[in-house]
Amino acid sequence: MKIISEKCKKCLVCIDACPVKAISKKGEEVTINGDICLECGCCASSCPNNAIEYE
Ligand code: SF4
Ligand code: SF4
């Protein structure tokens, strides 16, 4: 999964939506740790700005 930074409003809804806590805020960027991401799509479904996509 990847976060389209231009679309991301930093609302952090996706952080709570991720069952394995793969998403975190680093500085001003919200990022996904691909090493633990399950590609479940929960974050993409939760994002109100459609900022998360499958790679
Ligand atoms: S839910 Fe979407 S807009 Fe909100 S922080 Fe996550 S990626 Fe960004
Ligand atoms: S696809 Fe699932 S496991 Fe990966 S970051 Fe999104 S919610 Fe977390």
What's the confidence (pLDDT) of residue 5? 96
Position 32 scores a pLDDT of 98
- Measuring from atom 8 of ligand 1, which residue has the nearest CA? 8
Round the average pLDDT of the chain to a whole number and report it: 97
Return all residues near 24 (Cβ < 8 A) that are at least 6 apart. 15, 30, 31, 33
Choosing from 14, 21, 43 the residue with most ligand 2 atoms within 8 A of its CB, the one to mutate for a pocket test is 43
Boundaries of every domain in the chain: 2-53
CATH number of the 2-53 domain: 3.30.70.20
pTM for this model (two decimals): 0.95
Q: Which two tokens stand for residue 6?
A: 């231009």
pLDDT at 38: 98
Residue of 1, 8, 33, 47 to test ligand 2 pocket, by largest number of atoms within 8 Å of CB: 1
pLDDT 10s digits, 28-48: 999 999 999 999 999 999 999
Tokens of 52: 């998360």
Beta bridge partners of 29: 26
